[in-house]
Chains A and B, each alone.
Chain A
Amino acid sequence: MAGSPAISGWLLDVDERPDGRGVRMWIRRPDGSTRVDPVEFACPFYVEVPADERAEVMRRLADDGRAASVEPVVRRLRLESSRPVRALAVTPRAAPDRLPLARSIDALGGYFRYPLYNVDRPLVSEFYRARRLYPFAPLTGPAESAVALEPAGRIDYRPIPLRVVELAVRAGDGPRGASVPVDAPIREIRLGDERMDGPEEPLLRALAERLAREDPDLLLTDGGDGDDLPRLYARARAHGLGPDRFHLGRIPGGERPFRPARSFASYGRIYHRPAAYRVPGRFHVDRTTSFLYDDVGLAGLIDAARLSRLPFETVARQSPGTVFTALEIEAALDAGAAVPWKKYRPEGFRTADHLVRADRGGVIFQPPVGLHDAVDEFDFVSLFPHLMVRHNLSSESLGCRCCPASPHVAPGLGYRFCARRPGLLPRTLAPLIARRRALRRSARRTDRSPEARSRDRGRAKMLKWILVTAFGYQGYRNARFGRIEVHEAINAFARQLLADVARAAARAGYRVLHGIVDSLWLSVDPAASPPDPERWASELGAAVDLPLGYEGRYRWIAFLPSARTGLGVPNRFFGRYASGEYKIRGIGSRRHDTPDYLRHVEREILELFARAPDAARVLAERPRALARADLFAAELRSGGVDPHRLLIAHRFGRTPNAASPFTDAVAAARQRPEAPDVRYVVADRTSRSWRRRVRVLGAEPIEGPYDVGVYLGLLARTVATLLAPLGVTEAELAERWAIAPARRPGRPGPRPPIRPVIRPWSL
């Protein structure tokens, strides 16, 4: 880069100073060394106080030792109005004073009269903004006045040279994975490729020395938060090695968690999150608690940190939703607005009729059960984000006064969105959509190195996650700029779109077989000349001004029935693309509770259809498929299947109690009362003893006889689900293998078989 100023380093990280009166800049110098610069920094929050109360509030704050300064300002605060307002800018003395001070002011205003802004802005993010910096920025100039060499949004930046090293600790004498008491001595430490063992105290000293010498930027662990890090510090303490003599960071500290452990419920499941440990001056990523690291890689996380001005560790530890929220807040601040501390806008009153109309999701076309020839699949790319951008869907653009004739009206709901000023949400999303597109393109460019392409894939994936959460957060009651009407409007536009596209497909000679929200499975009518799918998709995409992609043609596809109603259910199918690839959704292989053996059965049977070029050949495989299933039945009956392959997983939604019906899972829970989930083999379902009924992994050896009848029943269900489109029923298999019908009380009896016909066209 000729003419550009010399790079003086990279901004590795910025964290809060322990005294709360500023931040520390961690800078990677070009020679590979790292320096830390403490910087004084404070930033105000804002409070709107009515004119006649302002003097009183200022007097009170002057007496309050926690405020360094209080100044009257005139500036824009609200997102929905660009008009400047009179407000007070309150700068706390130190970061820990910020929240208590804001609470006191809120209390003065009776918790509703004084709207507060920017209260929970992290000091670090404000510092980045104030200095026009961002995480991992390449810098030029001296530290105290360093400037970024390129904008944060640049796409083809040079990757920052981070030193990543894996850290693993083995303690106690048990096998790996067994739980070890926290005071068990450490036997072995692995740091990168280096394995260290020996007496514990020298071992710990050796680790500290090695860390200081190799000086990694990122410690990667598997369970560091829950296990390795607290254990290392506890053992060091036991040997009298204080924080000054044993630490993992670049400076002492970090032996206490910065966030305590907690349990929480989400979507009906209970999770435990261990305490989180930071390593001052380095990053710590625990792969077991970082949902994103394995998925998007270092490059994806770094990209998100750069764009959102969130610290790298926050990005790695939190969900993509946190990143989305930060991006939205950055966009609001860029526009000159501030971030309301509380959401001062409750949901409006609406009639029950309106709710029935508005509170709905996307369109789902129920697929006809059976085998189908020649099916084309189309998907809209990032449909919801594109809809938000296209129709300017945003909380503050809803019901604007400036365009009563706006064309952006949510179908059936009447919500009208501004046609003149782009809203916050579209302004946040449009650059992300463009960036994702560019990265996906560059990830495909074969003239680039495999590493660079894989980095771009990770970055594109990270953006995908952020775009996905953008929709869900509109309906979230705590989302700062979210509004439920926007959520409803997105669904309404998507429903109309899919209905329109289905009609267009019918006109083009397609029939709609199946559709879910943003995807369509269309069968090709051999009589009507089918359109060229690529061309059709791009023409239709252009007509509706949204990117419609062609996923490919299935040689054949089988839609599977619901076990209860026998009708087709969304997202339960298997099919084979013309490319030879299988696509499988909703069958046992993709569920977590399926025994390994049954997954194997599914794979083997699907393998039989691998060469079938069309639905008729799939149907012709019926005798062979049944013969294969017979072999599995015989193997099960012989008692020769490894019980480890028959483990059934069960996760408890609630703790079983005395009133719970006596099921296999309850019998298993009796043997491992503390475990939130169990894996067990059914030994004898008829036994009334919970010990004899099931054998539970972790409680006793798994080896031994299993209940053949139960597993034959499961086999019959698995095979019947898979072969339903070929006309095979569970009852037929039960008879074939002479097993008692697994009729459960209160359920409808055996269902008539599905006629084994290939239905290329008619329903």
Chain B
Amino acid sequence: MGRTAPTYRQALEARMSRWEEFARLLTTPEEKAAFETLRTGARRYVAPATHVGSPDLLETILLSVLLDLARRLRELEGRPPER
């Protein structure tokens, strides 16, 4: 009610529907699945992204995606989660 700026969640979903156009021309299942990974990564860190409150939407989305990839990489390397 009465908000001036969209929430990060709203802005993210708006951007995601733009990414959808990109995904439309991906042809192989591998690419499609990989793309889905990126989108899931972007959505996984909504809480910290909201907390940053950065006016640069793309910075925050990319940071979320990179963090998700780094997390998966560490898992693949077999490193235990740090305390």
Contact = CB atoms under 8 A, between A and B. Distances in A.
Interface string A356-374: 1101110111100000000
Interface residues of A, number: 25
B76 interface: no
A557 to B, nearest CB: 18
A355 B53 CA distance: 10
A471 B40 CA distance: 34
B44 A567 contact: yes
Contact of B55 (A357, A499, A566): A357
A763 B53 CA distance: 25
B25 interface: no
A735 interface: no
A360 B44 contact: no
B4 interface: yes
Given A360-B7, A360-B50, A364-B50, A353 B44 contact: no
Contacts of A528: 83
Interface in B1-56: 1-5, 7, 40, 43-44, 46-47, 50-51, 53-55
A477 B53 CA distance: 24
Contacts of B5: 352, 355-356, 359
A565 B40 contact: yes
Nearest to B11: A356
Interface string A563-585: 00111000000000000000000
Nearest to A360: B53
A359 B3 CA distance: 7
Chain A binding surface SS class: loop
A364 B48 CA distance: 9
B78 interface: no
A762 B4 contact: no
B47 A364 contact: yes
Given A267-B1, A762-B81, A363 B51 contact: yes
B44 A366 contact: yes
Contacts of B40: 565-567
Contacts of B55: 352-353, 356-357
A475 interface: yes
Number of chain B interface residues as a range: 10 to 19
Give the interface centre of B5, B47, B54, B55 by most chain A CB atoms within 10 Å: B47
Interface string A107-131: 0000000000000000000000000
A412 interface: yes
B53 A412 contact: yes
Contacts of A495: 51
B2 A499 contact: no
Contact of B43 (A364, A412, A567): A567
Given A352-B55, A359-B3, A365 B44 contact: no
Given A363-B47, A366-B46, A762-B81, A357 B53 contact: yes
A366 B5 CA distance: 21
Nearest to B57: A356
B4 to A, nearest CB: 5
Nearest to B1: A267
A363 B51 CA distance: 7
Interface in A723-763: 762-763
Contacts of A359: 3-5
Contacts of A762: 81
Contacts of B1: 267
B53 A361 contact: no
Contact of B47 (A353, A356, A366, A475): A366
Contacts of A360: 7, 50, 53
A267 B50 CA distance: 23
Contacts of B47: 363-366, 515
15 contacts: A355-B5, A356-B53, A357-B53, A359-B3, A359-B4, A360-B50, A361-B7, A363-B47, A363-B51, A366-B44, A477-B2, A528-B83, A567-B40, A567-B43, A763-B81
Given A363-B47, A475-B2, A567-B40, 13 more contacts: A353-B55, A355-B5, A356-B53, A357-B53, A359-B5, A360-B50, A364-B46, A364-B47, A364-B50, A366-B44, A366-B47, A565-B40, A567-B43
A-B residue pairs, 7 tightest by C-beta: A356-B55, A357-B53, A359-B5, A353-B55, A355-B5, A365-B47, A356-B5
